[in-house]
Amino acid sequence: MKLTFIKSLSIVLTIAFVFSSCEAVKNTNNTQRGGAVGAAGGAVIGGVIGNNTGDGDNSVLGAIIGGVVGGAAGAYIGNRMDKQAKQIEEEIPGAEVTRVGEGINVTFDENSGVYFATDKYTINDKSELSLLKLINIFQKYPKTNIIVEGHTDSTGSDEYNMILSKNRAQAVSDYLTSNGIAESRIETNWYGEEQPKYDNSTAEGRSKNRRVELAIVANEELKEEARQKAK
């Protein structure tokens, strides 16, 4: 009981610390935020937040936040992520692109770039166009890794949705590797209906929950390069 209380208290204090820093960084760009988080002990904060969101409602964000380097090195990484995110937004306008800390979250639902027919996981022609553009960008930034995640709505059984999300995530990962992205750069995960971002009681919400999400993060080579540049 005592350990549980201490853990809970540490989480509360960490969250309070993060919010106390918001005023100082809210008018900065993503690169500057990367440095600010590091200066405030971002590696520790990111780890705590990552551990608590990675197994919760958004594993992509947990993976990104949990891997922060922080400080000047974090700003160096953030600068490169800013450029990559901007290019994805420009070349794939249907994708939902979010810069988070030192990484990028890209979401494709059935209305935004990567499409799957109902109950199918075959990548169609329109989806190929978006993925080929994304592959071209990934090849320009070889020092990043990609986490691919599959999600479904709540229609159907838990078991069926888990398998469907796995097949869709794997289809995207396979397409990336078959078109020049090294397997070592890719991690593939699937969660079925376990991580809805929208209301499954509405048709629109279910449509958005049927999605594939990507997390783009610095690999160890880029992290070490950033640390060296920060010295």
- What is the CATH classification number for the domain harbouring 7? 3.30.1330.60
Assigned token pair, 161: 């949705």
Structural tokens at position 60: 């992509």
Give 64 or 142, the one with higher predicted confidence: 142
Q: How many CA atoms lie within 13 A of 81 on its CB side?
A: 35
- The answer to whether residue 31 scores a pLDDT higher than 60 is no
- Which structural domain range is residue 21 located in? 2-230
Q: Catalogue the E-assigned strands of the chain.
A: 96-100, 103-109, 144-151, 186-190, 211-218
Count of structural domains, the chain: 1
Comparing 15 with 124, the larger pLDDT belongs to: 124
Q: Which sign does the torsion angle of CA 165, 151, 57, 175 carry?
A: positive
pLDDT at residue 124, as a whole number: 86
Closest-CA residue to 193 (of 149, 148, 152): 152
Overall residue count recorded for the chain in this entry: 231
Q: 65 in helix, strand or coil?
A: helix
**pLDDT(158) > 80:** yes
Helix %, strand %, coil % for the chain, to 5? 60, 15, 30
pLDDT band at 59 (very low <50, low <70, confident <90, very high): confident
Which pLDDT belongs to residue 57? Answer: 63
pLDDT for the residue numbered 144: 97
- More confident position, 220 or 57: 220
Q: Of residues 141 and 63, which shows the higher confidence score?
A: 141
Q: What is the pLDDT of residues 120-154, one digit of tens each?
A: 888 988 899 999 999 999 999 999 999 999 999 99
pLDDT, average across residues 155-178: 96
Average pLDDT, the chain: 79
Q: So what's the pLDDT on residue 98?
A: 94
Separation of alpha carbons 88 and 125, rounded Å: 19
Q: Which has the minimum average pLDDT: 5-9, 61-65, 145-149, 153-157?
A: 5-9
**Residues 63 and 54 sit within 8 Å (Cβ to Cβ):** yes
